[in-house]
Amino acid sequence: MKKDIFIIRHGETELNRMGIVQGSGVDPSLNETGRNQSLAFYNAYQDHPFELVITSRLKRAQETVMPFIKRPLPWIQRAEINEISWGDHEGKPSEPGMIADYEAMIEAWASGDLSAHLKNGESAHQLITRIDHFLDELKRRTEENILVCTHGRALRCLISRINNQPAVAMETVAHANTGLYHVSWDGNQFQILRENDTTHL
């Protein structure tokens, strides 16, 4: 079945603004900028014939698309599109030592070591496994117009998997707050029609 899928990153949180690592273990609400981004996205796409809203289980993703949920539209939550766990880095500002650990992990992914992770965090292999499960669900669903709200690293992984790219390609995926990826599914393959579109802002 053909599908039209809109995938967006959540709106800004205060921790985003402050440069503090969130991940899946820190669950803040949107700040004022994020709420304005949410409203701007809704105003731009409120007439699109969405049949279903899918969000992660984290507040910032749910709040971003709450105007659609409140219409109401059918809504489901999926832990598979929660943000990656950054382990011991979560809730902390990105300091030089943490940045070095992160860069070492990315280099390991680039060399093919998808088991690499930050201390007590998720690996690329773990993230890819759950994102693949989510994509399989999307393919099976009967709805033709779906809105998905997720997180920066999860979105990067989604797009790289849709493009059949290796894990290190995640680093090239742009992901502004409420940036839109418009994706089609023709029953056999995905096609990306728009990338990180922020013209609604």
- The contacts of residue 192 (CB under 8 Å, 6+ apart) are 159, 162, 163, 181, 182, 183
| pLDDT value of residue 1 | 78
| pLDDT value of residue 178 | 98
| pLDDT value of residue 194 | 98
| pLDDT value of residue 152 | 98
> pLDDT by residue (tens digit) across 142-158?
999 999 999 999 999 99
Domain boundaries, the chain: 3-84+123-197
> pLDDT by residue (tens digit) across 86-96?
999 999 998 99
Where the chain has pLDDT below 50, the residues are: none
| pLDDT value of residue 94 | 87
CATH code for the domain defined by 3-84+123-197: 3.40.50.1240
Alpha carbon 72 to chain centroid distance? 22
